[in-house]
Structure 1
């Protein structure tokens, strides 16, 4: 079994994936909030 050395793995792809996930989640939450506000105003 190979020895594990902390901090040597290239994690650029994982960081880009996580950044994309955070952006998508943020935009989704903002969209859902806007939709709920719109529905509340229309049904008001």
Structure 2
């Protein structure tokens, strides 16, 4: 079994994926709020 030292693994790809996911969720929630406001204003 290989020796492993905590904190030596390269996690740049995981960090980029997490950042992209958080950005997507934030933008999606903002778009959803704008859509709901649009419906509240213009829906009959």
- TM-score normalised per structure 2: 0.88
Size of the aligned set, in residue pairs, is 44
Query: Which structure 1 segments of 5+ residues have no match?
Result: none
Aligned structure 1 segments of 4 or more residues deviating by more than 4 angstroms: none
Q: What does residue 3 of structure 1 align with?
A: 3
- TM-score normalised per structure 1: 0.88
1:1-44 equivalence runs, <5 A: 1-43=1-43
